[in-house]
Structure formats: C-alpha cells, structure tokens
Structure 1
Amino acid sequence: MTYRQRLSFFIVLDSVIVLTAIFFSRFLLSASLNVFTVPLVLSSITLLLSHHCYSFYYKLYKKVWKYASIGELMTIIKAVTLSIGTAAVLQRLIYNDTHFRLLAVTWMLHILLIGGTRFYKRVRKDPGETQLQNKDERKRTLVIGAGSAGTMVARQLLGNRDSELRPVAFIDDNVRKQHLDILGIPVIGGVDRIEQAAAELQIDNIVIAIPSLRRKELNRIYQACAKTAAKTQIIPMIEDLALGRVSVNQFRDVQVEDLLGREPVELDIGSISGYITARTVLVTGAGGSIGSELCRQVLKFQPKRLILLGHGENSIYAIEIELKNAFPSGETEIVTEIADLQDAERMLAVMSLHKPHVVYHAAAHKHVPLMERNPEEAVKNNIIGTLNAGRAASLCGVETFVMISTDKAVNPTSVMGATKRLAEMVIQNLDRTSFTKFVAVRFGNVLGSRGSVIPLFKQQIEKGGPVTVTHPDMIRYFMTIPEASKLVIQAGALAEGGEVFVLDMGEPVKIVDLAKNLILLSGNSVEEIGIEFTGIRPGEKLFEELLKEEEKGDAQVHPKIYVGRTAEIRMAEIHDLLKRYDGCGPAELRERLLDLANDRNKTHYEASPTVFLPVSV
C-alpha cells in the first residue's frame, strides 16, 4: 500500500485502540455498562489527540515494523506514557481530580494493544518459524561466539529463507552465557567442546563469529574446528564491518594468513605522509609480489607521481592497469618504465628524467635453488643491479632509498642470501658519501609471494598430493605481503641513513605445520593428501636469523621495527669480486660469495672510504 494509505490505516487502528483501552478499563473498574460519562468522553478525546500527536512526533507511523526491536518498543512506551500523562493533567485541571487506577489500567491496555499490533509482523518474521521450515534441508551450523556479532549472524541465518545454513548451537568461552538460550539456540559450552558438539549435533558448518578476535586466539579455535569434519568459515574483520564494506553474513573461508598469530600493523600516518604525499616515488621490481603491493600501499598516501619500473613488460602492464582501475581519481600520475637494473646508463636516465624523491628497491632474484645453479645471474641482478640503482639515485638527488633485503642475508648459506648481504653493504657504503639516505629493510618469508611455499603447496593439494616438505624441523618466519609492504614504507619514514631495519616477524612457524593447515583449509585431511619429506635443498638452512650476533642491538624505533648495528662493509673486496666474477665457475663463485658475505678468509686492501662502481653488464 502507499504511504498515505498506510498512514490512514494506522491512524484509524490507533484511534480504535485508544478508545477501546480507556472504555474497557472503565468497564473493568466499575463493572458497570454506563461508561459513557462526560469526564470519560473528555479524557478519551484528550488521550486520542495526544496519542496521535506523540505518534507523529516519535515517527511511529513511519517505522517498518517487521524489523522492529527494543528501540521501537521503547518509543511506543514513551508515546503512550506521555499521552496518559497529558490526560491526567487535563483531569486535574478541569475536575481537580485524577483517576489514577483508570489511567494505569488504560496505560497497560494501550501498550499491550499498540505493541501487539505493531509487533505482529515482527512476530510472524520470528526466526523460530523459519527455523522449523526447511529443517531437513539446511546445513546444521555451529556458531562460535555468542556475542553481538554471533547473535546477529544467527538472527540473519534464521530469518533468511534462502540461507542454506541453520544455526543449532552457540559456542562461547564466557561461562555466564553457557547453558542459556539465545534466539532459541543453546550456548552449549566453550571452545573445548567444539569437537564433541560437532559430533553429537551432526554439524555440517562452523561459523567463527568474533570479528575482533586476535589471531592467536583464532588459531586456537581453528585448530579445534579442524578436528571436525565440518567446513569452517569466518565472518569479516571488524574494520570491514565498521566501514560497511561487507555485511556480517558474508562468510569467507579461513585463510592461512588468518592463522599467523600476528596483529595488524599500526602505521605512523603522519611521518609517512610527510615523505610520500605529493611527491614522486619510484618502485623497482614493481611487477613483483612485494613491489606491486608497495605500489598499492604507496598510492594510499597520494604521491604526486608513481613510477613503476620493471624488466618484465607483462607484469608491469598488469600492475599499471590494476592501479589505474583501483585509483581512478587521477590524483597520482602513474608512469611505467621498462628497464634492466644491470644497465647503469638506463637507470641513470630514468632517475634523471623523473627525479624521484623516494625509491623503493624491490627488484631482485630471490629463488634460492635457482640462484645456487646460476650464481652469476644473482651477482648481476642483486649486487650490480642494486649498485646501479643506488648510484643513479645518489647522482640524481633522491632523498630516501629503501632496499628490500631478506633474513637469508644473515649468516648466509645460499648464493641468494650472500648476494643480498653484499647488496646491503653496497647501499651502506653509498650512504657514507651521499646526500641520499640509503637504508635496507630485512624480513623473512611473505605468504603468497612468487616462489614461496604457499602457492606450491596449494598446487600440490589441488593435484591430490602429496605435499612436499624438505625437513620436519624446518622453521621460517612469515608475514603477509601487505604487512611487509606497510612496514617497508614505515621504515622509509624512520630512515636517517645507513640503517639495516629488521621487521618484527613474530614467532617462527614450522613448515610442516603450515602444510597441515593448508591441507585442512582446503577441505581435505592430512591422511588423504599426505606429506612427503624430500630433504634440505642446496643453500637452505633449518632456520633463519634476522640479525647476526655483532648486529644485535636494543634499538627499536617502531613497535614492529628494530635497527641493527652496522657490521663491517667490505667494499674493496666486493669491487674485486665484481671485476672478476665472470671468470669464475659456478662453484668457485658461490664459495667466494659466501666467504665474502660471512667475513671468511678476509683479503686486505688499501682503505677506501667509498667505491663508486660504474658497472654496466
């Protein structure tokens, strides 16, 4: 019906209710059929008019009652109470008397009838009725969390006829809620009851409905859920709900990133904006997993220009299109440059053309086994490429140069780690004689990056297994790509020059446990897929370190960023290596890299405060 028809209906309905309430109250109290007295008629008219006035004031005629809740009930009570109060005042003014018993009974009947008619649609929409429908067709669901979010999830599932899920029980560690019913659904116990409850109640789905849950606690809950055969999902994070990006019933599968046990990164927005906003930023390796995420994060701070530099045209084209679609406002000019780090003249030309204020150097060869077989390529890209990019940045007046390093650069046992350690020395040496602030940021593995174990494990699971793990005791530090990128940007804001920043990687993770979690998250069992141990690969260590012993210090410049002490910089030996590396065989070059990076078999050269190497391969 139209709004006008709806308004007319409620005015007529309320008028009947008001008159019925007051006359029926008079009948109940007097037990007489003679209820039409002058005072009563006058009070009825007053009550009727005041009711409509307060109903319009509180917008009772505009509310959609099938979604009514406690708030609407309180509004009804206010309107009715004020109407009765107005009638009482009129009785006192005209007759110098107030019929309190009459008005009290009228007040109760008034609320009962008004509330009953308004909540009729809400009662018809009661979850209990929907719960009975499709009882055998909907998947039996266990809701973890009986708080406001869990209650909202249950209410929406029960009230949505199209939902395939039917909540049958809550799990909550709050003992005050246990053994109670919420929306007719029992709270049957804490997290330790999940496995037993799933078996007893024949649970098909589990929904974790605690949006503010800390990741360590989520990991504990998920491990309990993983012992069941039910599919486990989670509601969106609280920040996404608060910003209205998603609704509470948009469940998603639990991701391995959720189980890291790490809390979200809090950035110092002011310091970052000061060196990025309205300025020119260049990212090398912009098409890679880290470089592309750096570009996404940098754009949030609205630089004047963002230069995407990379060697692979397809990856650079892909990130350019993505960024222009994601940030269509055009506040930041996005420019692409296809360039090879090993070409010193090209790097100098790019830097001279764009004159960036900030450079994030993310380009590198990082695949450990491949670099073991091709050490000369690691030297070209990781050392010479860094040198070319750093020298060009210095000559062109770049303010801050941030190099992405790795925990494999600490006491390296691989060619990749050794070349990244030597690249750190290169930029620390450049910092000594340049106005540019050169810093390195060192962190461990990032989940989902190209060449990481996560994509490999997922492929193996899709093929039916087995998942291959090199050693049962191998551990690694992990963080997500967005987290690593945010902290790299934060480190740039903290740079004074020459530092090696080390990101707090949290607790190390056993690779075999990561494999088991991925198998369970894919909906399979470890027994079905299987895990096969293949042995440690060349250049790998059982565990990685973030700082060498002589680099360790107490300096913490951010809750998740430490500064390591500067170790010895052996530029003369690096210079000698770069002049002669192409005459070495792979095995000899590997040994020279590891000796130099680990300060073994030192060769003495004349002191040279700076060595600029105009190397172009």
Structure 2
Amino acid sequence: MWKNKRKILLLLIDIILLNIAYFLAFYLRFDYTIPHQYFLLYKKTFYIVVAVTVVTFVFFKQYNKIWRYASLHDIMDLIIFITIGSAMAAFVLLFLQIRLPRSIYPLYWFLSALLIGGSRIAYRSYMENNSKVKVKNIKYKKVLIVGAGDAGRILVREIKNHPETGLKPVAMVDDDVSKLHRSIDDVPVVGKIDDIQEVITEKEIDEVIFAIPSAPRTVLKKVIDKCSEMRIKVKTLPAIYELVDGTISISSIRDVDINDLLGREPVKIDLEEISSYIKGKKVMVTGGGGSIGSELCRQVARFSPSRLIILDIYENNMYEVQQELKRKYPELDIVCLVANIREEKKMNKIFSKYTPDIVFHAAAHKHVPLMEDSPHEAIKNNVYGTLNLVKVSDLYNVNRFVMISTDKAVNPTSVMGASKRICEMIIQEYDKKSKTEFVAVRFGNVLGSNGSVIPLFKKQIAEGGPVTVTHEEVKRYFMTIPEAVQLVIQAGAMAKGGEIFVLDMGEPVKIIDLARTLIRLSGFEPDVDIPIKIIGLRPGEKLFEELLISDDKYVSTKHEKIFIEKPVSVEYGNLILTLEKYKDKIDDMNEDEIREFIKSLVPEYNPDYQRFLMEEIAATEIE
C-alpha cells in the first residue's frame, strides 16, 4: 500500500516540477515578461508537454526505483529519459501543428533535468542524513577494505548507505600501485596488501573486509594469516562465481569460513562435458540425504536430468533435500525412495522399475572409530551394499556407475578404509565383464561434512574448549563439499571403465594448525583463551593419509587436477565368488575373524599399524 502511495506522491511532485520548468522556459525566453498571446499558448499546451514527459517516465519505470539509493548512473538514466520525454513532447506539438518558439524546447529540457534531477538528489541526501540521525548513538567499528576495485567501491557505498550496520570504512589497501594515495568516496587507499598489519595498527582497525571476489584463494589466505596474528576478524565477499547476478550488498558480506583456507584454487569443472552426459538422463544418487549425496543431488539437478532418483535409508535429511530441490527446480521429476542398499531383492525391484542411466553411489558407513567397534556393519553395508548395487547396475544396463571412495582405502589400517578398498576392487573386477562403466573417485577429508573435524572444532570453541586434536603431527588432505561433488560428476564424464580417479588436493594440512586458525577466526587466542588438548590417535587412525597406493602409479588426464591410479598388478581372481560365499556368514564371525577375512581380501590391510606407530613415536620421544 505504501509503495503505491509513494509512487503517486512522486508522480504528483514530478507533474508540479515539470509544469514549473515549462512555465520558467517561457518566463526566461521572454525576459521575465510573458506576452499575453504566449501565456495563452502556455496554458493551451502545458498539460500536453507534462503528460507526455510523465508517460515517458512511467514507460521507463522511473517510479519503481528506490531513490534513496540513487547513484550517478540513475541520474544519468533520468536525464536520458527527460531528453526522450522532451523530444516526444515536441513531436506531439508539431503533430498537432502547435508551434512554439524554438528556444522553449532546450530551456524546458534543461530546467526539467535541473528540477527533477535535483529533487532526486535532495531526497537521497535527506534520507542519508535522516538515517545518520537515527543511528547517531551507534559505536562504529573501523573497517579496512582489502581491494579498491569495483567490488570495493560498491562496498564502500553500501556501508555508507547503511550506517545502522555500525561499520565505518576508514581505509583501503590494494596491490595496484596506480590506486595508491587516491580515495574512493572519501576513503583513502593507503597501501598494499603487505602493509595490512601497519595499517591496522595506525588506523586502529576493528575489522577487515576482503573485497576481491576474483582473487585466488592464496591471496585471501595471506590476508587471513596477517590479520589472525593481530587477532583482527576478517570478513569476505563470496567468490565471483557465487555473485551470479553481479550485485554486491551488505548482505553479501560473510565471515571467513575455514573453506577459504585450503591454500589452493578450487577445482574447476567442464560444465559442457558434464551437461552433455547428464542432460535428459535418469540419474540415481544413493545416500542422497548425506553431506556428499545431497550436494550431488543439488549439482546434478542443475544439468536437467529427465529424472533424479534419491535413495537413502534415512528419510529426514532426504526429505529436506527433496523440498529444497522442488523449490529450486519445480519442473524436475524427483523420486525419493527410502531403502537399504543391503537388500538385494529391494534393489532389484527399484532398478527394474526406474532403470537409471547413471548411478552415483555415496551410501556408506564412513566413521573410522565407529566402524572399528562395528566391523560387521562396515562389511555388510559398505562391501555387500556396493556389491548389490554393482550387480543390479550390470543387470539393468546402467551406463555409468560412479562410487565414492576415500584416501583411507590406500594401505588401510581401519576396517572402514579396508571396506572401501574392497569396494574399489569390486568395481574394477566387475568392469572387466560388464557393459556398464564402473569407476571410483578417491578423495580426502571433506570440510563441513557430517562428522568431520570442523563442525566438532566449532562446537568445542562455542563451549569454551578445549579443542581436541588426536596428535601434534596428524595431517590430512582437505577439500570442500562442492569440490568433492564436482570431482565425482567430472569423473563420471571422463569414465571409460575401471578407473580410480584421484584429485590433486595440494599439500596436506596439519590438524593442529587447522584448530589454531579456526580458534583465531572465532576471535580467540589458542592456548590462551581456548586450550588445545592432545588426546591420542583413535582406533584405526593414521598420522598421514595417502591418495595413491604407489606414488609412481598414476597417469594424468585432460583435467589438470584429476589423475587416474594405474591398476595394481594384483589378480583379484575369485573376489566376487569369495564375497558371495561368505555373505551369509558375516554375522557368525567374531571381530578377529572379520579382520582376518578382510586381510585375506586386502593383503595391505594392517590393523596393527597404530600400535607400531605409537611405539615408534614413544621410542623417539625417549631418545
């Protein structure tokens, strides 16, 4: 209701101002004394001229703008529309064979632009000053903006337009030397990124905002490292690909996330290649309610499959994914199935009914310590569940089957890792005799996934600590959930059958360093405000994870970040027959027998690794 009233009020004001402009055009043209016959001409034509100009404004939607945020671009647009309106008014008068003194037209245009443009600027100034009065008691945080480009310029203006945020930009830094010692909207560019710490001290900065959406992650990490040393909070704008509509606003600013600290560029995918093999196909995602599975569903949905089949044993998370996708992709045919991949008959019925073209297999038990205590469940779910899916995929002529694996499958020390290694062996064995292209994708830890270390650290920090780390030397490879999923989908596009795809994940990250960084990003000092406690390696854990069984056994692909592990020269022989033979005996085995069974299938499986490792560490410490 108020919006309509505002538009009507603005329209009435414009009518009055345009009429004044038209009258003044006559008044100035005749040196402040309008002859009687021209005054009658004014009275005869003013409503035509004003009406045509206002109709032009309405046509170009000038009354839909929020003028309290008017920019120079908006004012320039307004002048263009006044020019068009003035020209149209002159055309209408000529069409009606009404002749005015020629100087009236430019005078009317100039005075209209002056009065209408001035009214908009005055309104914006009034609203800005009014906002400042309302929030005059706010204590402002002094903000340093990193980046004096377009994003930084827009951000400065946005912050100044929203004083209620309590932010005040006082300085900027940028590595472009041409911008040094200049200013943007009265905010000076005082140095380069390397000067951040000096600027923070000199300007008494309270907060830093990183405003270079196109910058590589290494630059952001450099800024974060410098600011964390001084216990200054860093916020950032989303990456450029996240700013789809090209707009930047106060709401775009977010806290720096641990995902920003990988120290390498995110994996980029070939959208055209992916689109070509998913578009119009029936795609199934098992474990579709989990962290990886749900992101798989989101990204697959972007490429217009003919049907998306989401399968999971847990209905709650799957329901949330279903509702999200229905909102975003209302035309997409989504089928959600609550089912257990362990049930071979159920899988047969599902594949017979829905005949998927592509299967992304993300359903698995993945928690290492839990599976050490429940090895039977790891084998039944991970190994036999995968075997069921592989068999029905082959039976119903699935085109491509992409399984999610893990770096813990390499020289495994845990039941979970060994179970995933067996899964890799299953798909490579089946690929030899099947028309289906079976592949696996192996990657490290996924930041932010259910049960990962980051949510645990955040919870521990929120509770005041301590933050628990298993060992000072523990290192892990990390990637983000979107990266992991993009790799899986890209691997599906590259699949020829039997490959194990591996991502170049950069250098492994020390978990204790990750903990310290996260504590600093939360505004605390490690071991001062929040203690870090070493609790020892958990059952089945390694100090270092590996991505390749042998460092020299891999080949490059056309994707610079994706490699293929060469098949290990091991004859799997009767792997499938052995698994079928023991299928109904698993529950009757004790834990030692289960581990011996795993060892018989995966000779490199070494459950005693942790004990030997800890003895070696202890001996080194004594020396």
Q: TM-score, normalised by structure 1?
A: 0.79
Q: How far is the alpha carbon of 1:445 from its aligned partner?
A: 0.9
Cα distance in structure 2, aligned partners of 1:7 and 1:235: 38
Which segment is superposed worse, 154-163 or 548-557? 548-557
Which segment is superposed worse, 395-404 or 237-246? 237-246
Evaluate the alpha carbon distance shift between residue 172 and residue 307 of structure 1 in structure 2; reply closer, same or farther with a 3 A threshold: same
Cα distance in structure 1, aligned partners of 2:19 and 2:316: 70
Paired residue for 1:97?
Answer: none
Paired residue for 1:564?
Answer: 565
Map 1:228-247 to 2 at 5 A: 228-243=230-245, 247=249
Q: Secondary structure at the match of 2:435?
A: coil
Q: How far is the alpha carbon of 1:232 from its aligned partner?
A: 2.7
Is the CA contact 2:15–2:50 (under 8 Å) kept in the aligned structure 1? no
Is the CA contact 2:146–2:211 (under 8 Å) kept in the aligned structure 1? yes
Cα distance in structure 1, aligned partners of 2:189 and 2:451: 45
Q: Secondary structure at the match of 1:195?
A: helix
Is the CA contact 1:304–1:333 (under 8 Å) kept in the aligned structure 2? no
Is the CA contact 2:17–2:116 (under 8 Å) kept in the aligned structure 1? no
Instruction: Give the letter aligned to residue 175 of structure 2.
Output: D
Paired residue for 1:386?
Answer: 386
Q: Secondary structure at the match of 1:156?
A: helix
Instruction: Give the letter aligned to residue 500 of structure 2.
Output: V
Paired residue for 1:92?
Answer: none
Cα distance in structure 1, aligned partners of 2:280 and 2:110: 65
**Residue 309 of structure 1 pairs with residue 314 of structure 2:** no
Evaluate the alpha carbon distance shift between residue 324 and residue 67 of structure 1 in structure 2; reply closer, same or farther with a 3 A threshold: closer
Which segment is superposed worse, 69-78 or 535-544? 69-78
Paired residue for 1:191?
Answer: 193
Instruction: Give the letter aligned to residue 487 of structure 1.
Output: L
Paired residue for 2:102?
Answer: none
Paired residue for 2:17?
Answer: 10
Evaluate the alpha carbon distance shift between residue 317 and residue 402 of structure 1 in structure 2; reply closer, same or farther with a 3 A threshold: same
Q: Secondary structure at the match of 2:496?
A: coil
Q: How far is the alpha carbon of 1:415 from its aligned partner?
A: 1.9
Evaluate the alpha carbon distance shift between residue 228 and residue 249 of structure 1 in structure 2; reply closer, same or farther with a 3 A threshold: farther
Instruction: Give the letter aligned to residue 530 of structure 2.
Output: I
Is the CA contact 1:478–1:509 (under 8 Å) kept in the aligned structure 2? yes
Is the CA contact 1:551–1:564 (under 8 Å) kept in the aligned structure 2? no
Instruction: Give the letter aligned to residue 275 of structure 1.
Output: Y
Q: Secondary structure at the match of 1:557?
A: coil
Cα distance in structure 1, aligned partners of 2:115 and 2:11: 23
Evaluate the alpha carbon distance shift between residue 54 and residue 150 of structure 1 in structure 2; reply closer, same or farther with a 3 A threshold: farther
Cα distance in structure 2, aligned partners of 1:600 and 1:164: 57
Cα distance in structure 2, aligned partners of 1:466 and 1:597: 38
Which segment is superposed worse, 223-232 or 252-261? 223-232
**Residue 520 of structure 1 pairs with residue 520 of structure 2:** yes
Cα distance in structure 1, aligned partners of 2:121 and 2:480: 48
Q: Secondary structure at the match of 2:234?
A: strand
Paired residue for 2:610?
Answer: none
Paired residue for 1:181?
Answer: 183
Q: Cα deviations across residues 55-95 of structure 1 (Å, max 9, x unaligned)?
A: 88996995877655444666799889xx9xxxxxxxxxxxx
Q: Cα deviations across residues 549-599 of structure 1 (Å, max 9, x unaligned)?
A: 277233313233222211135434644477457465424543553464245
Paired residue for 2:170?
Answer: 168
Is the CA contact 1:475–1:509 (under 8 Å) kept in the aligned structure 2? yes
Map 1:281-360 to 2 at 5 A: 281-327=283-329, 329-341=330-342, 343-360=343-360
Q: Secondary structure at the match of 1:428?
A: helix
State, as a whole percentage, how many aligned pairs show the same letter.
45
Instruction: Give the letter aligned to residue 384 of structure 1.
Output: Y
Instruction: Give the letter aligned to residue 238 of structure 2.
Output: P
Is the CA contact 1:131–1:158 (under 8 Å) kept in the aligned structure 2? no
Cα distance in structure 2, aligned partners of 1:387 and 1:482: 27
Which segment is superposed worse, 260-269 or 349-358? 260-269
Q: TM-score, normalised by structure 2?
A: 0.78
Evaluate the alpha carbon distance shift between residue 569 and residue 378 of structure 1 in structure 2; reply closer, same or farther with a 3 A threshold: farther
**Residue 498 of structure 1 pairs with residue 469 of structure 2:** no
Paired residue for 1:479?
Answer: 479
Is the CA contact 2:27–2:33 (under 8 Å) kept in the aligned structure 1? no
Is the CA contact 1:475–1:510 (under 8 Å) kept in the aligned structure 2? yes
Evaluate the alpha carbon distance shift between residue 143 and residue 134 of structure 1 in structure 2; reply closer, same or farther with a 3 A threshold: farther
Q: How far is the alpha carbon of 1:429 from its aligned partner?
A: 0.7
Q: How far is the alpha carbon of 1:431 from its aligned partner?
A: 0.8
Map 1:126-141 to 2 at 5 A: 130=132, 134=136, 137-141=139-143
Which segment is superposed worse, 300-309 or 471-480? 300-309
Which segment is superposed worse, 275-284 or 478-487? 275-284
Q: Secondary structure at the match of 2:164?
A: coil
Map 1:69-468 to 2 at 5 A: 69-71=71-73, 119-122=121-124, 124=126, 130=132, 134=136, 137-243=139-245, 247-327=249-329, 329-341=330-342, 343-468=343-468
Cα distance in structure 2, aligned partners of 1:473 and 1:8: 75
**Residue 590 of structure 1 pairs with residue 580 of structure 2:** no
Q: How far is the alpha carbon of 1:157 from its aligned partner?
A: 1.9
Cα distance in structure 1, aligned partners of 2:78 and 2:400: 64
Instruction: Give the letter aligned to residue 590 of structure 1.
Output: R
Paired residue for 2:99?
Answer: none
Q: Who wins on radius of gyration, i.e. which is larger?
A: 1
Evaluate the alpha carbon distance shift between residue 485 and residue 245 of structure 1 in structure 2; reply closer, same or farther with a 3 A threshold: farther
Instruction: Give the letter aligned to residue 426 of structure 2.
Output: V
Cα distance in structure 1, aligned partners of 2:559 and 2:33: 80
Q: Cα deviations across residues 405-426 of structure 1 (Å, max 9, x unaligned)?
A: 1111122222222221121111
Is the CA contact 2:301–2:332 (under 8 Å) kept in the aligned structure 1? no
Cα distance in structure 2, aligned partners of 1:71 and 1:468: 54
Evaluate the alpha carbon distance shift between residue 366 and residue 600 of structure 1 in structure 2; reply closer, same or farther with a 3 A threshold: closer
Q: Secondary structure at the match of 1:203?
A: coil
Paired residue for 2:616?
Answer: none
Is the CA contact 1:191–1:224 (under 8 Å) kept in the aligned structure 2? no
Instruction: Give the letter aligned to residue 197 of structure 1.
Output: V
